[in-house]
Chain A
């Protein structure tokens, strides 16, 4: 806080992964492959045509997709607003956003299993066949595939473009690159909003083909930003515990991670409540059925879990300035919110598959470990050999010396 406080420089810090990169790729990759192999074996043993496996896979794919989409938002909104504080953390976000490229590969099993998972394709749904027929021009496997190709082309195109320009600036230090990234990010955010909205409809909302909620896209978006802010906190602490970025990312930046978490926890609750309240108030059967399913057979407890542990408790927990500036405090809430984001998606996905019980399946855990392992390996692979900070960004000095008022 003092006027003569020490402002860190890149030279006094360790800003590359070095041996940590390949090791993480090996370990996380191995865990991922083993996890997915076990999950696939267990899924095959179920004898349900991989339906259970497919549902668990979908849930965890949606989880890791949301982390990368949150990172995409973090990068693009930073450019469009000309943000200073986040520059030291932007490279980490760029890596996580560019991980969308590997999520294309991880999407393939889901696309192969689409006909056995999505109720509009299997017909295992309360939705009348006549209604499914009306919706078929949108909800069919071919168009589903086409849409996902479009989503990923847009996401990966921008994420890789931002990643490459940022790396180029590491070499040249050209300030024009910042201007170019800033110019690109406006349209990027617009397309992001549209694609994320429709992706959330396709991946999650269509699990009940009859149900619709116009706020569903923002709901998934809010959860995505919480998930990424939490993931960024965890990644930062993990790197710092291994001697990376220990000086360049300091309390002032962590404080802003905390603010981002806090704001989007509230935003999530705001949207979750808006969605619930309007449907509750209007009381139209075709809308309430979705919530009814989430209030029966013990699922109501999961909903209350979300109300208290994904909103009220972390809201109060992150309210104080001192918590956001306290390393253990912030780390605790980041891990907490990552877990609760998973519970949120579980509450969205699984009542459509097993409405009779809210209890999770071992397959949920195995596919989480499987996809998660490969996801982390992808992050480590991309980050290896590059600076973990955009080291010649013209705003870097402002970011290093950043101070909260």
Chain B
């Protein structure tokens, strides 16, 4: 963390080729940066590895969501049919497992799906309506033909002059400071 420039968000580095971006990402990863990101117009195979991103732990959250849905469905049907408003239908037990399975299945899927969706939002810090990179004119080409790395100032390794030097050594076509 460098406090010499309080308004600084980070350093933007522009690349003109995905291969150069991936190589630069490996260097940033190996240098030990944690607070940084890469932006590309299209998905690039092998980016996760090059950026040192671990496999997502979202599935565990989803499993928890699914099991919660399963339990909620059983509890709900037991309480409604067998406790709160017992109603005999064609001689079936008031709490009969086979009759409850369809709702159990639906709620398991629903809770798991909602957990997936909002869990993904949560883990990615969404919704995210503003980002300092939008101030950069250069960055507009990220949806067309340019590739970017942003090294954030809040990274513990960030020191303005040294990091600027490091950024310049990554093989990009331009380096720019981003204000917050």
Contacts and interface: CB of A to CB of B under 8 A. Distances in A.
A65 B22 CA distance: 50
A15 B19 CA distance: 33
Kindly name the residue among B45, B55, B59 whose own CB sees the greatest number of chain A CB atoms within 10 A.
Answer: B45
A334 B49 CA distance: 30
A: contact size bracket = 10 to 19
Interface in A297-324: 319-321
Interface string B26-60: 00000000000000000011111110000100010
Contact of B50 (A3, A283, A320, A403): A3
A277 interface: yes
A276 B99 CA distance: 10
A277 B49 contact: no
Contacts of A1: 46, 48-49
B45 A403 contact: yes
Contacts of B50: 2-3
Given A281-B90, A281-B92, 11 more contacts: A1-B48, A3-B44, A3-B45, A3-B46, A273-B98, A277-B101, A280-B98, A281-B98, A283-B91, A321-B59, A403-B45
Nearest to B66: A319
Contacts of A3: 22, 44-47, 49-50
A222 to B, nearest CB: 16
Contacts, number: 34
Contact of A277 (B46, B48, B98): B98
A315 to B, nearest CB: 12
Contacts of B63: 319
B156 interface: no
Interface of B: 22, 44-50, 55, 59, 63, 90-92, 98-99, 101-102
B65 to A, nearest CB: 14
A1 B53 CA distance: 12
A321 B91 CA distance: 44
Contacts of A276: 98
A293 B102 CA distance: 25
Contact of B101 (A2, A273, A320, A321): A273
Interface of A: 1-5, 273, 276-277, 280-281, 283, 319-321, 403
Contacts of A283: 90-91
B98 to A, nearest CB: 5
Contact of A281 (B45, B48, B59, B99): B99
Nearest to B91: A283
B22 A277 contact: no
Contacts of A277: 98-99, 101-102
B59 to A, nearest CB: 7
A273 B98 CA distance: 8
Nearest to B46: A3
Nearest to A283: B90
Contacts of A273: 98, 101
Contacts of A320: 59
Nearest to B92: A281
A3 B48 CA distance: 10
23 contacts: A1-B46, A1-B48, A1-B49, A2-B49, A3-B22, A3-B44, A3-B45, A3-B47, A3-B49, A3-B50, A4-B46, A273-B98, A273-B101, A276-B98, A277-B98, A277-B99, A277-B102, A280-B98, A281-B90, A281-B98, A281-B99, A321-B55, A403-B45
A3 B50 CA distance: 8
B116 to A, nearest CB: 14
Nearest to A280: B98
A259 to B, nearest CB: 14
A404 to B, nearest CB: 11
Nearest to B25: A3
B25 to A, nearest CB: 10
A283 B92 CA distance: 10
Nearest to A278: B98
A183 to B, nearest CB: 31
A403 B48 CA distance: 13
A120 to B, nearest CB: 30
B101 to A, nearest CB: 6
Nearest to A321: B59
Which 6 residue pairs of A and B lie closest in terms of their CB atoms, listed nearest first? A3-B46, A1-B49, A2-B49, A277-B98, A280-B98, A3-B22
Most buried by A among B46, B63, B90: B46
Most chain-B CB neighbours within 10 Å: which of A3, A5, A273? A3
A280 B92 CA distance: 9
Nearest to B63: A319
Contacts of B102: 277
Contacts of A5: 46
A5 B22 CA distance: 14
B87 to A, nearest CB: 15
Nearest to B100: A277
A3 to B, nearest CB: 3
A2 B90 contact: no
Contacts of B45: 3, 403
A2 B26 CA distance: 11
A5 B45 CA distance: 10
A198 B24 CA distance: 60
B57 to A, nearest CB: 12
Contacts of A2: 46, 49-50
